[in-house]
Structure formats: structure tokens, C-alpha cells
Amino acid sequence: MPEHHSGPGRPHPPTAAAALLSLLTVLTLLVTLPGTAAAVAGNDSRPTHPEQDWMGSTIRAHEGERGPAAKGSSLPDTSLSGLPLAGPSAAPPASAAVSAVVKGVDVSSHNGNVSWSKLWNSGIRFAYAKATEGTSYTNPYFAQQYNGPYDAGMIRGAYHFALPGNSGGAAQADHFVEHGGGWTDDGWTLPGVLDMEYNPYGSTCYGLSTGRMIDWIEDFLDAYRDHTGRDAVIYTSTAWWKKCTGNYGGFGKYNPLWVPRYGSSSGELPNGWGFYTFWQHTNTGPTVGDHDRFNGSYNRLEALAYG
């Protein structure tokens, strides 16, 4: 008997059983393809990026809206008062020069191409862009997100999302500096940021003891300083810092603190820091989500950029 067709040259659609078999075959191939298991596990060598790891991406899920309660008040940063007042040749708006707080944002590839003119017009004066993660990932939007703020008139910087369980701190600092995390003494470039937060791919502390975590962070900071001459900023939450470093207090003397807490105050700070330099106060702000405040006036931000 001749084969029946649903139209010229068209065989009958496959049966439900055949379709299911095809789907199972595809899924089996995906699981067994080289590198795919690493992608699922979040290994540093994964070929695709699941977009779970921008600055603060893990905070709300682990700590909720507000994070640890405040102990006392967060006073303005006075530690920068002795730094030089020199700044970029283009003077900031008068309102920014006298403000006690400077508004900024942080972005990563999940934001795509950012409207920097829109952010500038809304009062944003600094921006940090994710450059790298681990020792293999680089942000495909980094050029637009790093050069765009500069072109708009903002002071800008780069940050690295740490994966301490995957490779050494010095190796990740090298990768960071080689792919946008360096520093230039131009008055427009802020020191790099080490983003230390919950592991989006596995155990909270990346499988490291508190002692090994402290050593890892120190290795990164030392290597970054060797490359740039600058002390990197540390982004971390108080709860994560307590759990994964034992609330170590040895970095506060040299490394500025960037703390996330989504509420009306910055809350309790990690041990070793008496004040924050940056505060990520919301992840639901206009245009890009993550909005931040620098703890000082605009000329203090310039001073930090100059080092």
C-alpha cells in the first residue's frame, strides 16, 4: 500500500510516542555533551553563563529585604577628609559638589546596553561594571558599561565576582586586571572591587573554611595591589562575612567597604570597618536595578579615584 501524505511531499506528523522519544534523545545529548555538566554545576569553565552572579544577586534570596539589623547609626565617612581635593578637569554640578551623598549604580551583563545619558540626567554620578568572574568569564557588555559612564561624565570602576572554590585568589586578580579591572591615575577611574557574596552555584562559602577564605581574599587583594598600586574595595554583606570569614577584622584598615542592605540604613557593618564607603541601598531602582550611595561629597569621590 502506498504511503499516505498530508500534502505534497509532506509525511504524516510523528506520533506522540515518537516525539517524546526525540525529546528524550535531545536531553540525553545535552547532559552528555562535554562541558554541559560543568555549566549546570556552575564550574568556572562552563561554556554558558546562567546570569546568577552580579553584585548583590544572592543577597535578597539569603537575607531578605533588610538584612542584619542596625547597631547604632551609620555616620558619614570622615576617613577621607585628609585626601587631596584634586579632581577631573570637568567640574561637577554645583549640587553634587556640596552633597553629602553621591548617587551611583552597578551593572553587569544582565543589564545589557545601559542608557547612561538617562542615568546621568537622573543624578547618577558614578558607576561600577562587572568585568570578570572566576578565571574564565568576561562580561560581553563590559566595553559599553565601562566606557559609557565615562563618556557621560561619570566616574567609573570595575568589579570582579569571586568564585573562591574554583581557583586561587591571585589567579582571579590576574584575570580581573587583564580584562578591565586595572586602574588609571586619571581622576575618573575608581579602584577595583572584589565581590564576596553567597555562592550562586553551590555551598554558601564555596567549600572553604573561614581560615582558607581569609587567605583567599588576602591573596586576591595582594595580587591586585601588586598590579595596580591600589587597595581594592570589598563588597560583602555582614551576614555572609560572619559566616564565611568568622567576622574577620583585618581588612578594614586598608580596603574600603561596600555593603548591601535594602532599606533605610546600611545596618550593622562587618568587623573591622567603622563606616562604609559605598552602600548598595536597593536592587529595584530605576533603569538598572542596583543603586548605590557613596558616603561623602563629590570631591571625596574624586579623591578616592585619584588614590
pLDDT (tens digit, 9 = 90+) per residue, 23-35?
A: 444 334 333 333 3
Which residues is 294 bridged to in the sheet?
A: 102, 278
Cα–Cα distance measured from residue 40 to residue 54, given in angstroms and rounded to the nearest whole number = 18
Given this model, what pLDDT does residue 51 score? 61
Given this model, what pLDDT does residue 127 score? 98
pTM: 0.76
Which of the residues 77, 174, 195, 292 is marked catalytic?
Answer: 195
Q: What number of other Cβ atoms are within 10 A of residue 31's Cβ?
A: 10
The mean pLDDT value for 257-264 works out to 92
Which of the residues 53, 77, 106, 290 is marked catalytic?
Answer: 106
Identify how many contiguous H helices and E strands the chain contains and give both numbers: 10, 11
Domains defined for the chain, CATH in brackets: 65-306 (3.20.20.80)
Given this model, what pLDDT does residue 26 score? 37
Which residues is 130 bridged to in the sheet?
A: 159
Which of the residues 53, 63, 174, 197 is marked catalytic?
Answer: 197
Verify whether residue 106 is a known catalytic residue. yes
Verify whether residue 185 is a known catalytic residue. no
Q: What is the pLDDT of residues 186-200, one digit of tens each?
A: 999 999 999 999 998
How many CA atoms lie less than 13 Å away from 275 in the CB half-sphere? Answer: 12
Instruction: Please measure the distance between the N-terminal and C-terminal CA atoms of the chain and give it in whole angstroms.
Output: 85
The mean pLDDT value for 169-182 works out to 98
Verify whether residue 226 is a known catalytic residue. no
CA 128 vs. chain centroid, Å, equals: 8
